[in-house]
């Protein structure tokens, strides 16, 4: 009958583990994307022509008439990254979503808390409405909103398969999948190769290629029949305390799909490797000499991508570690921000016809706060925004107002602290002092343009030298909050003290970029409590909380990279054993020459020369085409060491 080599059974056990880990990550990301389980979504925007109570009446009448449940998701005003609210109207008490009001939302990610509330008249109309029922009801709901004067449209639904594929598009999850594929191919190929002599014996007993392959696959099926229930039991034991087994069916579907994909790759690899083992004449196979040159080539066809994959994962891990270190080093700067918040403008409260009204309301509010000193403006820009033709256009520029200089220490070259003034100011770091004339022309032109838009002419622009070696706090207004919380020696553009200098659209643009900061959150709460402003400003986000959320995400990402790196190095070891086994199995005479007094280096010299040549080529490629990183040298050194260790172990076995 024969037995499967333990490398093959280990491959299937490993792919089950990989599938479970990846499914868990997908479910967490999917849960944070939004409420799951909707059959259709309607996007509503605009001002409408009715009070908010009429909207609540529309929803109540609709769910009662259509016997459907409708939910509107909204971020929590104080912690939008970790909490959200779902306003739910129930018209079909028999549907599963109806239980969310008394029992809570069955979220998968325990870190994302969802508060389920009844749909009340105080809920603003603008937003996304999830329909838990018949997708055709979305059109009737859209028509109902349009009759009230709103702009509404049905959103295309993303299939579960498309959603899963989207999560695999980038990041550690993609590398995890590629590592799983490489490990599966390596382990299965290694297991078949190391069993070459056993397969030769089965051939001698009359076993054909189809019969031997079918027998192996039956044994694989028997192993999976035992391994899958054990894996499932372990998953249940972990998920039960984690989230009460919420969304377990979706988790099982994703895990089964990933395991099926990896198992298919394993079967194809098994068939190809077995065909290679059946290729030599039977006498050679019985002497365990059946791998030969083709087996070595096949082993390297897996090993080379494994080395490149390990390098990519290691580089990503190093980059992630640096970002985490930068954030940890800047903890004191985030503490300076205190309770400061940035405002979140609604993307669904207005349609295109009413954008001007929103910008006037938000812009006037921010202008008044700026004039009273209650608003900090801190916008990260780049030099090319002011001087398009300069070679170093990526140099950082920080645009601030006087309130920023009051709260953050910015030192001039004279040692005096910079402060706000009636005129616009440009603070130039020492290494750009020779380009003062260019900066005067570029920034001066921008200031004149802004003043022209607001019909507030600027008489002159003041230029001062900036003390070198300063790291200025951005309040996280850059695209990467964790990495860009400070700028080292930027050009600083200080806006004039007059709040009339910026037009409404510019103030709104600052807010939409996260560059409008309120040191006192109560200022935003009071503004939202009265008038239409509460419809446009749909939340606040503490700048320190946002940084903490992203820092936590980066730490998780770094840990994922470390796990991937460990798995990738394990794959390197597997491919090293595979290469050595293929070479030794195909060169039996040279292997036994070791017993005649030859050294390890002389016995396996050609293989070591080949490894050194490939290592040199890889290092040259990485230094020339990927930016140059000592990571490449470290990976090649680890790879060669693993080959030497594998050779020594295999030689002792011989």
Q: What is the CATH number of the domain that holds 69?
A: 3.30.1240
Q: Are residues 502 and 395 in the same domain?
A: yes
639 token code pair: 């790879």
Q: Are residues 380 and 445 in the same domain?
A: yes
Domain extent for 470: 341-518
Query: What pLDDT sits at residue 393?
Result: 61
In a domain, 532, yes or no: no
pTM of the predicted protein model: 0.70
The single-letter DSSP state of residue 457 is: -
Which one of 267, 301, 320 terminates a domain?
Answer: 267
Q: How many domains does the chain have?
A: 3
* Phi, psi torsion values for 566, nearest 5 degrees: -60, -45
Residue with tokens 């598009």: 169
For 57, counting Cβ atoms within 10 Å of its Cβ (0-12 exposed, 13-18 middle, 19+ buried), the class is middle
The single-letter DSSP state of residue 411 is: B
From CA 2, how far away is CA 202, in angstroms rounded? Answer: 8
In a domain, 435, yes or no: yes
In this prediction, the residues of the chain whose per-residue pLDDT falls under 50 are 1, 286, 290, 626-628
| Contact (Cβ atoms closer than 8 angstroms) between residue 366 and residue 516 | yes
Q: Are residues 116 and 100 in the same domain?
A: yes
In a domain, 543, yes or no: no
pLDDT digits (tens, 9 = 90+) for 400-432: 999 999 988 999 998 899 888 888 888 999 988
Residue with tokens 């594998």: 646
Q: Are residues 428 and 395 in the same domain?
A: yes
- Distances in whole angstroms, Cα of residue 589 to Cα of each of 151, 285, 399, 524, 654: 81, 14, 74, 82, 11
Q: Are residues 394 and 461 in the same domain?
A: yes
In a domain, 69, yes or no: yes
From CA 476, how far away is CA 480, in angstroms rounded? Answer: 7
Q: Are residues 387 and 507 in the same domain?
A: yes
In a domain, 388, yes or no: yes
Q: Are residues 120 and 219 in the same domain?
A: no
Q: Are residues 87 and 101 in the same domain?
A: yes
Cα dihedral 42, 43, 47, 52, rounded to 10, equals 50
In a domain, 272, yes or no: no
From CA 601, how far away is CA 608, in angstroms rounded? Answer: 8
In a domain, 294, yes or no: no
Query: What pLDDT sits at residue 269?
Result: 92
Which one of 480, 495, 518 terminates a domain?
Answer: 518
- Distances in whole angstroms, Cα of residue 398 to Cα of each of 337, 383, 394, 492: 17, 10, 12, 5
Residues whose CB falls within 8 Å of the CB of residue 18, separated by 6 or more in sequence, listed in order? 176, 177, 179, 180, 183, 258, 262
Q: Are residues 141 and 213 in the same domain?
A: no
Query: What pLDDT sits at residue 598?
Result: 63
Q: Are residues 421 and 376 in the same domain?
A: yes
Which one of 267, 287, 312 terminates a domain?
Answer: 267
Q: Are residues 372 and 440 in the same domain?
A: yes
3-state SS class at 478: coil
Q: Judging by DSSP bridges, how do beta strands 424-428 and 461-465 pair with one another?
A: parallel
From CA 398, how far away is CA 36, in angstroms rounded? Answer: 40
Q: Are residues 365 and 476 in the same domain?
A: yes
> Taking the CA of residue 237 as centre, how many other CA atoms within 13 Å lie in the half-sphere pointing to its CB?
6
In a domain, 362, yes or no: yes
From CA 216, how far away is CA 351, in angstroms rounded? Answer: 63
């Amino acid at each position: 009958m024969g037995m499967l080599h333990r490398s093959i059974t280990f491959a299937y056990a490993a792919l089950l583990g990989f599938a479970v880990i990846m499914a868990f990550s997908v479910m967490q990301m999917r849960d944070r994307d939004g409420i799951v389980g909707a059959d259709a979504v309607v996007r509503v925007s605009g001002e409408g022509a009715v009070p908010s109570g009429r909207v609540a009446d529309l929803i109540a009448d609709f769910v009662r008439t259509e016997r459907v449940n409708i939910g509107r998701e909204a971020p929590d005003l104080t912690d939008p990254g970790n909490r959200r609210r779902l306003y739910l109207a129930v018209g079909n008490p028999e549907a599963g979503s109806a239980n969310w009001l008394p029992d809570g939302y069955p979220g998968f990610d325990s870190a994302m808390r969802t508060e389920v509330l009844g749909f009340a008249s105080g809920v603003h109309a603008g937003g996304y409405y999830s329909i838990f029922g018949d997708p055709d009801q979305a059109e009737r709901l859209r028509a109902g909103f349009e009759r009230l004067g709103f702009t509404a449209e049905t959103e295309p639904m993303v299939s579960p398969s498309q959603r899963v594929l989207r999560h695999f598009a980038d990041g550690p999850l993609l590398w995890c999948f590629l590592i799983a594929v490489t490990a599966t191919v390596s382990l299965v190929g290694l297991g078949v190769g190391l069993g070459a002599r056993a397969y030769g014996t089965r051939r001698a007993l009359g076993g054909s290629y189809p019969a031997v392959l079918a027998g192996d696959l039956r044994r694989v099926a028997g192993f999976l029949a035992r391994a899958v229930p054990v894996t499932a039991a372990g998953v249940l034991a972990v998920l039960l305390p984690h989230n009460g087994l919420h969304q377990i069916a979706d988790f099982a579907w994703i895990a089964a799909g990933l395991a099926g994909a990896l198992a298919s790759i394993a079967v194809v690899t098994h068939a190809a490797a077995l065909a290679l083992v059946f290729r030599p004449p039977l006498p050679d196979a019985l002497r365990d000499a059946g791998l030969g040159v083709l087996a070595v080539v096949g082993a390297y066809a897996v090993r080379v991508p494994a080395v490149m994959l390990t390098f990519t994962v290691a580089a990503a891990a190093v980059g992630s570690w640096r970002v985490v270190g930068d954030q940890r080093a800047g903890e004191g700067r985030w503490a300076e921000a205190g309770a400061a918040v940035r405002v979140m403008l609604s993307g669904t409260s207005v349609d295109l016809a009413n954008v001007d009204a929103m910008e006037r309301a938000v812009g006037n509010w921010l202008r008044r706060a700026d004039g009273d000193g209650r608003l900090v403006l801190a916008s990260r820009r780049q030099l090319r925004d002011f001087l398009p033709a300069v070679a170093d256009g990526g140099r950082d520029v920080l645009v601030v107002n006087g309130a920023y200089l009051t709260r953050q220490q910015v030192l001039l070259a004279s040692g005096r602290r910079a402060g706000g003034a009636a005129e616009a100011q440009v603070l130039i770091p020492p290494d750009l002092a020779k380009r003062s004339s260019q900066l005067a022309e570029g920034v001066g032109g921008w200031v004149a343009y802004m003043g022209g838009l607001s019909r507030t002419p600027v008489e002159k622009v003041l230029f001062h030298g900036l003390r070198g070696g300063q790291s200025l706090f951005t309040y996280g207004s850059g695209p990467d909050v964790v990495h860009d919380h400070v700028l080292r020696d930027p050009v600083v553009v200080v806006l004039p003290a007059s709040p009339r200098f910026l037009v409404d659209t510019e103030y709104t643009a600052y807010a939409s970029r996260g560059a409008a900061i309120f040191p006192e959150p109560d200022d935003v709460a009071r503004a939202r409590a009265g008038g239409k402003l509460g419809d446009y400003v749909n939340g606040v986000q503490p700048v320190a909380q946002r940084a903490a959320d992203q820092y936590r995400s980066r730490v998780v990402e770094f840990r994922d990279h470390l796990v991937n790196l460990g798995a990738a190095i394990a794959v390197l070891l597997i491919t090293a054993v595979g290469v050595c086994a293929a070479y030794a199995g195909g060169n039996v005479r040279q292997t036994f020459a070791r017993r005649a007094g030859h050294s390890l280096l002389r016995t396996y010299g050609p293989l070591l020369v080949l490894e050194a040549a490939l290592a040199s080529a890889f290092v040259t490629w990485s230094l020339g085409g990927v930016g140059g990183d000592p990571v490449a040298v470290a990976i090649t050194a680890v790879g060669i060491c693993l080959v030497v260790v594998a050779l020594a172990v295999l030689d002792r076995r011989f």
